[in-house]
Structures are given as C-alpha cells and as structure tokens.
Chain A
Amino acid sequence: MTLRTYIVSRILLTIPMIFILLTTVFLIMRVLPGDPVLLHFEKMEDPALIAAMRVRLGLDKPLLMQYFDYLFGLFRGDLGKSMQDYSSIGQQIFAAFPATLELAIFSMLIAILIGIFLGVESSKAYNSPKDHLIRVFGIVTYAIPVFFLGMILQMIFGIGLHWLPVGGRTYQNMVPTGLNVGPVHFSTGLYTVDSILEGNILKLGTALKYLFLPSLTLGLVLCGIFIRLTRSNMFETLRLDFVTAAKARGLKDSTVTYGYALRNAFLPVLTMMGLQFALLLGGAVLTETTFSWPGLGRYLVDRINFRDYTAIQGVVVVFGLFVALVSLAIDLLYAYLDPRIRL
C-alpha cells in the first residue's frame, strides 16, 4: 500500500464514523427526550410561546426533516440557534474553542513530558523500589478525580502560597491582540500564540501563569498511561543490540537513552496520544469548570444549567468532530513517520 492509498482509505473510513456520530447525537438529543422545547421550560408556559419557539427553531417539522436540516446545517457550518436567546450557537462555540484548544495542547504536552521522563526512569530501574514508586504514582494519578486534583492545586498554589491565579484566562486588560501590522490583523485566539505575535512578553507571562494550573491538573491525570507505555517499550528497547552498541562506543548514558532508544519507543506514544485525546476533552470539561476557564466545556456546563438543548447538541457535535479529526491527523502523522505502514 502506498502512502497515498493509506491516506485516502483512512479518510474514507472517517466519513462513516462521523456520520454515525452525528446520527447518534441527533437520536440522543432530539428523539430520546421526546420534546426538548417542553423540557426547556420546566414549568408550564404559555402554549403560544412554546409553539412560537418550536417554529423559530425548526422543531415543529417532522423528525426526519429536522434530521436533514441538522445535517445540511452542519455541512454549511451552521449549528443552529440557542433556546435561550436565539443567538447563533456556531459563533459562541467558535469563540470558546481556542481556550479549550490551548488547554488541550498544553495538558497533552505536560502529560507526555512527565510520562516519558518517569517512564524512562522507571524502565532503567526495572523492578527496583524506584520503579515500583513510579508505577504506584501512575496508578494513583489515574484514580484522582480531575476536578479534585484541580481544587487541591488551587488550594496550595493559589489560596495558600498566592503564586498562581485560581481561575480565568488572563487579566481584563491583558488580552493579547495578535498580529497587527498596518491594516493586517491576525489572531488565533490562543493567548500564548497571540502574545508572541504581538511581541508582548508581559502578556505571554500572564497567559502562561493562568494556563499553568489547569494544564498541570489535566496533564497529571493523563500522564499515568504514558508512564506505563514508555516504561514497557523502553524496557525492551534498552535491551536491543543497537543500544548496547551505542553504549559500547562510549556515548553518554543520557544520549543513548533519549537520543537513541527513546526515538524507537516514541511511535506507540504517538498512537496513545490519539486514543487519549477523547479522555482529555472529557477531563477538560471538568477542569474548565474548576478553573472557570472560558472554553467549550464551561460553555457546555453553562448551557446545561439553562436546559438549552439546541446549544448542548451543538457543543457535543463539535467535541465529537474535534476528536475524529485529531485522531485522523495522528494516524496520518503516524503513517508518515513509520515507513512500515507504507509497505
């Protein structure tokens, strides 16, 4: 199989999965509850008002028509209108998305760095007390509810030591503007990237300060699986001939471990990144709630409190698509990095 056929077939495989995802979300949000409009108003409301809302949201049509409206709307990038104030759900999601993306990137980075470092240390000290200690650490991080860990870190570094802020994304007047050269305005919505584009170190520092605790929380909870994966892969790799040969040539221990052996053990870590991404987004919902981080997860919880079914449906769809696209991207990257898949 050439790389191109692999890419094409992988993309083709994503289409039915996305279709199933969209249909499942529709079935759960529109068909299961019976009538979302009635559920939205907990107490009895004026029937005229209820009927008007149904018409305005297109919920008066037969279910099959609603289904097609929903699919075609998505195709055009239209996620529908909020039950709360008929505002565009797509716009609100678009505004909240960068915050979640930034949190996800930094948490994944922290999880991988901690995971690889401890995994390597663990595999080098195989079956020693240090190895056991690292394994137990990995197991314990798995068993901690992410929001509880977040609160503990808030308590220590925010409330106790006053080192880091306990919530939000930055100060009011510290929002980076992104690139501004003459008439050109460009911003990504990722505060770290935007402050670099703007060339403002102070804003970058502030953004990182706010980002640190939420991403550490989420990163710590996810690092266990990377510890385990790196440990078992490195354990085997460190006993291969080429590692012994490199050691025999007198290379430094750290060069052999990180420069030679780890390179071999990295591909499984990449695959795991794709698999863990869904878990990461679930954790992000709870982390965002704990740290008042204005991302998609916070928007979702906020909409739940308003029983805003159309908005919730939109967020759930976006979360699902996000995961599907990330796992597609990681699979393609894997194919590019691992020549065996092309053969």
Chain B
Amino acid sequence: MTQTKIRRSILSQLIPGITSLAKRGLAGWLVLIGAILTLSIIVLTVVSPWVSPYNPSAINVGHPLLPPTSQFLFGTDDLGRDMFSRVISGGGIMLQVSILSVIVCFIIGVPLGLFSSHTGGVVDKFFNLIMDSVYAFPGLILAIALALVLGRGVINLALSIAVIYIPSYFRVIRSQVLSIKEMPYVEAANAAGAKRRTILARYILPNTIPSIVVVATVNFADAILTAAGLTFIGMGVNATVPDWGWDLSNGRQLLLSGNWWVIAFPGLMIILLALGFTLMGEGLSELLNPRLEQSGE
C-alpha cells in the first residue's frame, strides 16, 4: 500500500470513529474533548522550537517582569525571559516523564498482576500485601524519597513516579483476573490442556484491556500532577530547560509583589494537560465499563 492509501484508510476509519463518539452522549464528548486537548498540547510542545517568538531560555529578551503586552503576550519573568515562549515550550519534560512512567507502570504492573492473581495462594497474598502497603502510602512523599536518592534526570523522575502507581494497575488486573479465571471458556481452555502462558496471554489479558486503558489515562493525569509537584518543591529535572512546574516554583515569590502572569499561564497549561487526560479517562471508563456506572462505583 502506498503512503497516501494508508493515510486515506486511517482517515476513513478515524472520521466515522469521531462522529460515532459524538453520538455516545456526554461520555463520548468527554473523550473527544480530552483527546483534542492533550493532542494539541503535545503537538504544540513538539513544534514549539519553530513557532516560539523568542528563545524561551534567553534572558533579557525584554525588561524584567513586564505585564502582558502586544510584544510579550504573556509578559516576562524576573530575568526578562518571554513567558509566551516558555509556556508553549514548557511541556516537554512533563510529557516525557509522564509517558515514561506510564510505560514503566504498564510493563511492571500488568504482568505482575496477571502472574500473581493467576497463581493464587501464598505468592498472591505476598504481592498483594506489598502492593497494598505501597498503595496506602502517601504517593507524593514516597516519590519525593525515591527522587531524592535516585537523583535528577527524566528517567529517575519517571521511575520515582511509576513506583507509586504500579499498585493501581496491579489491583485492577487482579480483580479482573479473579473473576475471569472462573469463566467457563477459561475452564474449557484449561481442560483442553492449554498452557498457562497461552491462557494468560490469549484468554485473560484481552479482557482486562478496557480497564487497563482507563487506569492508564487517569495515571497520565496523576503522573503529570506529581511531576509538577516534585518540580515545584525543587526536585525537578533541571532549571535550564523551560518547564511549567519550574516556572510556578520560580513565580511563587514574584507573585507576592503582584506579578500574576508569571504563574497564571504555566499553571493553566498544566491544568489543561491534566484535564485532557482526566476527561478522557472519565469518558472512557463510562464507554468501556458501562456496568461501573450502573452499579454506582
């Protein structure tokens, strides 16, 4: 198939998909709006080097602490950096950290949940106790401790955040497997002599995917907020790359003298990004697990 053909076939799948989402009521709209929000921020971050009017890290581009004007749409910070350029390019680290941490959670949480709950017995009790203990611990504080000893850097930050969300995947997988395991078709596969790996991968895993997708979208929002929080208290990646969390932390003192624009726009971007994922998660959980809504969970 040529490039254009592939593109056309993707589009022909996508457009009916979008219109049918819009027909699914509020839940469909939530997914649609959430997806548009997150995608536009991701695209904005990727193209920012070409579209930002000034170098976001260059100091003294304008006078320090200028309020928004036509030349500097979002004003300047205390070092005379252009806030507009910083806002459109400040999502890079947060996005990398959250994507990476969701991947790590997925790679560890899903197989562990499958293995533990399908094995049952003492093994399952052991992992369950560990996961419950981590789950019960204040997440941000655990992430702070981990980030502190692992040191700075995107990968270390992502790992610290991933550890606190692995139990969410584990628990969801576990509760699903425990009910799916008893279904007649799994019993039939067992009786037919299918290997354990086959049963887990081909019969059980596919049924857990809707729940994992929902957990992963919510996890994205949480990871973004946690990354922002860690950066705010000075445990971010570094100060040389523009970052919304860092700008908020820097703006805290400047705010007291009335310079609202230094924090308002970066903060708004974090909200929009987290909101995009939250809306998607909210809508998806309704679309993929209609039973949840009915049972009032």
CA distance A300 to B145 in the complex (A): 10
B148 touches A312 (CB 8 A): yes
Q: Mark B75-111, 1 if CB is under 8 A from A, else 0.
A: 0000000000000000000000000000000000000
Q: Does the CB pair A285–B233 fall under 8 Å?
A: yes
Binds A, one of B61-69, B181-189, B209-217, B221-229: B221-229
Query: Given A28-B145, A166-B256, A232-B297, do A320 and B137 touch, yes or no (CB 8 Å)?
Result: yes
Q: Please provide the chain A residues from 309 to 323 with a CB less than 8 Å away from any CB of chain B in the complex.
A: 309, 312-313, 315-316, 319-320, 323
Known: A304-B144, A320-B137. A16 touches B228 (CB 8 A): no
Identity of the chain A residue whose Cβ is nearest the Cβ of B163 in the assembled complex: A28
Q: Which of A142-172 contact B (CB under 8 A)?
A: 142-148, 151-152, 154-155, 159, 166
A interface residues, tally (CB under 8 Å): 54
Known A145-B232, A304-B233; judge A285-B141 contact (CB<8 A).
Answer: yes
Q: Are A286 and B140 in contact (CB under 8 A)?
A: yes
Interface string of B280-297 (1 = CB under 8 A from A): 001000000000010011
Tell me the smallest distance from the CB of A312 to a CB of chain B, in Å.
7
A20 B232 Cβ-Cβ under 8 A? no
Q: Which of A201-209, A256-264, A276-284, A333-341 is found at the contact surface with chain B?
A: A276-284
Q: Please name all residues of chain A whose beta carbon is closer than 8 Å to the beta carbon of B144 when the two chains form the complex.
A: 285, 300, 304, 316
**Do A24 and B133 form a contact, CB below 8 Å, given A140-B275, A142-B278, A304-B235?**
yes
What is the CA–CA distance of A143 and B270 in the complex, to the nearest angstrom? Answer: 8
Chain B residues touching A, majority SS: helix
What is the bound-complex CA distance between A81 and B248, given in angstroms? Answer: 33
B18 close to chain A: CB less than 8 A? no
Picked from B138, B234, B279, the residue with its CB within 8 Å of the CB of A279 is: B138
Among A24, A143, A283, the most chain B Cβ lie within 10 Å of the Cβ of A143
**Bound Cα distance from A320 to B278, whole angstroms:** 27
Q: Which residues of A contact B150 (CB under 8 A)?
A: 32
Is B146 close to A, CB under 8 A?
yes
Instruction: Check A132 for interface membership: any CB of B closer than 8 A.
Output: yes
Give the 6 A-B CB pairs with smallest separation, nearest first.
Answer: A282-B140, A232-B296, A148-B267, A143-B274, A143-B275, A33-B149
CB within 8 Å of B: which residues of A?
A: 16-17, 20-21, 24-25, 28-29, 32-33, 39, 132, 139-140, 142-148, 151-152, 154-155, 159, 166, 232-233, 235-236, 278-279, 281-283, 285-286, 289-290, 300-301, 304-305, 309, 312-313, 315-316, 319-320, 323-324, 327
12 extra A-B contacts, CB within 8 A, seeds A143-B221, A147-B232, A155-B255 = A28-B149, A32-B150, A142-B274, A143-B274, A148-B263, A151-B263, A151-B267, A283-B140, A286-B140, A301-B233, A304-B144, A312-B145
